[in-house]
Structure 1
């Protein structure tokens, strides 16, 4: 069994709000020590009928060091709940019903992750019937949670018996951050099918550098891990407080 660091929830120029090309993504994440990139390009403006072209583009941009795994991030009609999906599955439409989407993904052998549940209070729509259909919950999303895991999202994952997921939610250079999903693969080298099997069987762990995110988010790991998690929360609160001031200074 091989363990490989994956950057999860990465957007390319195939998304309506991102501009990085697939080759640039492979190069940039490879320089940062990742062996797999789990792409999650948005469903809402995804070119209809181009899923095969997208998969071929990911394969062509992959390198011997970095495997680009195609994925789609779906959102419901009012853009509240988001769910990245990976696997040999069809395109499920621009803005599907989330409950119906999860049932189809599970039936088709794919993997679905609940993204940034505290963005716009998306967690309020959580249906416990989704739990058996989900692979994991993002308990740390770099774009929305900042430099510390989200304790509330971690509590949701524990309550529903779901693994933790860590996502950079990459759109721009600002989202580079040492979060990863450590995938345990049943092959010597990464390939899409091995990645899909790892996700389906939950053979992965969310990590910050080399430290399990579950401990930092209050799910165990001892006093040292909990203290580190609290320190990161303090840093994140300070960052959020100072950010508006810094933006005003840059404009002046």
Structure 2
């Protein structure tokens, strides 16, 4: 049975997110931006490939060179100061301008980048990204193409860390509002309709299409924690002021 579209987003909207920060700007600024995205030294180290001590050293050195306090102690960890947050936010424009200049220069010289990273959830990686990677390798033999499987939140971290250049995500799974974020550019690829499985004896079983509102009072069976469709369950029950009943 196919779910009938309603005001609540109930299709899996597959979108392509392009990062705007692959550049040769001071790598310590990139590390600071990754820290702002992740929030911890450990997560920053994992994403950038540095050790935690190297990340800490980079950030301390960056503070010293700039003559600004970018970080302050927060319990056992550190967090950005107001100065650090302002610098990170302002760097979006700087990096976007460099990216545009870099792309124009490469186009003028008919050059291509040496490496290109693709990321996305499992289905996208298999059905969309793998064929794209094969095409890129065929048309540009010198290009190193890497495909990483990751959930949407992880994809955004990988984009900021410059580990990938393009991410394919399910829009309803993302907590990042890409339209309002200058670091990313979003392109809608397709809408993936959702199917619902109900017993043959169910009153709605004879219907070809139903709305989520009609199923809002029903118990749902789903994987835990947070499968791709769980935001749909939360959304429809949240609109009724209830908690989703998902055994």
> What band does the TM-score fall into relative to the shorter chain?
under 0.3
Structure 1 or 2, whichever has the larger Rg, is: 2
- TM score, norm. by length of structure 1: 0.26
- TM score, norm. by length of structure 2: 0.26
